[in-house]
Chains A and B, each alone.
Chain A
Amino acid sequence: MILQKIRTENMYLYYGNKMALNNVSISIPEKQVTALIGPSGCGKSTFLRSLNRMNDLIDSVKIEGNIFVDDINIYDKNIDVVNLRKKVGMVFQKSNPFAKSIFDNVAYGPRINGNNNKSELKEIVEKSLRDAAIWDEVKDRLHDSAMGLSGGQQQRLCIARTLAVDPEIILMDEPASALDPISTSKIEELIFQLKENFTIVIVTHNMQQAARISDNTAFFYLGELIEYNKTKKIYTNPDKKQTEDYISGRFG
């Protein structure tokens, strides 16, 4: 049986008076890749960021409705946001390694969680770099600066940094949009491997990428979830004309 890892119920999100998400109800299955697609400003990144309460950092944001992760409402008052973000990691469009060594980038999360055991950290760093499919490229220069890595390598390092705190869900906001085709294909291959152990939610503007890597696709437009289904269904025979127009590039 496929478990539903994330569930939102009648979710509304406002930036001040402006409604950015309008009554979004969705169930995201465990250990699958779910792609969020839609034109700029449709609310997909806003939705993604609300899954680990990144929107809390914006003062004007107000959220109504419920968001559950493992059946726990993550907007409950007693939720520890730091723990939530450990469980729900995030990778951004632009790779953002710290100006530290490769090793220290990956060890950063475990260290601030109080782990200072050298051999354990070494193990975590190696496992995370291996899982992020970058170990072979950096194993001989772990103490070099992360800033010397290529864009594609930096992005995989950021994924390794996310994995190091042992998350269950990884949110990705256009993780390959700034990368060349080879680096993009490495990231896509990595996402494919990661879904064996993690639930992945990815925002992408690349229609072919969503089709290639995701199991489920959600199409957002003007803050509404227009259609949500298996990716195969969305890309061969979507139910809504708006979805068809968008994925075939005939929007507007």
Chain B
Amino acid sequence: MSEMEKLRIFDNELKKLNERVINMSHLVEEQVSNAILALNTCDMKLAKQVIENDNMVDKLDIKIDKLCQNIFALQQPVATDLRYIISSLKINNDLERIGDHAVNIAKRIEPFCNYMSFSKKFGIDELANTAVSLYKDVDQLIKTHQLVLANDIFHNALIIKDNCHKASEKIIEEMMHQSEVIVVATNLMIIINLIERIASYSTNVAEAIIFVVEGKIVKHQKRNEEH
């Protein structure tokens, strides 16, 4: 096989990987959006669909892992290619976790149907919507590699984490005064935690894309400013 042919195979494999990661991201975006919509509207049918679709996320997760493994073994990538494949593995892992959190949210919706006003009282619907729009930026970043989006993600994830913390404190206070809400409030706290985790994994993805584009490792940094 000539060098040119080998290179063509390599480039095709990279293209395939890129398409799969983008597909994974779209799929997870749909899962997050639907889980939050189901939460905010108490749509049990939609929640069930999210739970069922997790299977598709898991299958794609394995396909991406295998493709990366093959590229490492057969093509010995270097430089940007190497960083891209390392990051694709990490991003894939983070997306799969975000998908799992969407499923976990969907599984906890039913108990809320009788307590929608309780949930709204703590602004959980708005908080959840900000997580959806944060993830839309993640999806765009994966597709375009425009680093300005990474800074938006870092910034918005911090706001979400802060709001999650504030909402949790308010709920704890409510629980101290009204013992009958403890069960639903505990569930709500778990959902808030899941939203916070989605924000956290979103920053991981942004860090991985910065590593691809600039070769800089920006994880584990205190982040109040732009990277």
**Do A and B assemble together?**
yes
Of the residues B3, B7, B82, contact of A235 by C-beta under 8 Å: B82
Chain A contact residue count (CB 8 A cutoff): 13
Of the residues B6, B7, B76, B79, contact of A244 by C-beta under 8 Å: B79
Tell me the bound Cα distance from A247 to B83 in angstroms.
14
Tell me the bound Cα distance from A147 to B24 in angstroms.
60
Q: Does A208 contact B (CB under 8 A)?
A: yes
Residues of B within 8 A of A26 (CB): none
Q: Does A117 contact B (CB under 8 A)?
A: no
Contacting residues of chain A (211-238) with chain B, CB-CB under 8 angstroms: 211, 235-238
Residues of B within 8 A of A77 (CB): none
Tell me the bound Cα distance from A248 to B93 in angstroms.
26
Q: In the complex, which of the residues A207, A208, A249 has the most CB atoms of chain B within 10 Å of its own CB atom?
A: A249
Residue pair A236, B7 in contact (C-beta under 8 Å): no
Interface residues on B, range: 10 to 19
Closest-by-CB residue of A relative to B82 is: A236
Residue pair A247, B78 in contact (C-beta under 8 Å): yes
Contact string against A for B residues 193-217, beta-carbon threshold 8 Å, 1 for contact and 0 otherwise: 0000000000000000000000100
Residue pair A248, B77 in contact (C-beta under 8 Å): yes
Q: Does B70 contact A (CB under 8 A)?
A: no
Contacting residues of chain A (191-221) with chain B, CB-CB under 8 angstroms: 207-208, 211
Residue pair B10, A244 in contact (C-beta under 8 Å): no
Can you sample 12 A-B contacts with CB below 8 Å? Answer: A207-B76, A208-B76, A235-B79, A237-B79, A238-B79, A243-B79, A247-B78, A248-B77, A248-B81, A249-B3, A249-B6, A250-B7
Chain A positions near chain B (C-beta within 8 angstroms): 207-208, 211, 235-238, 243-244, 247-250
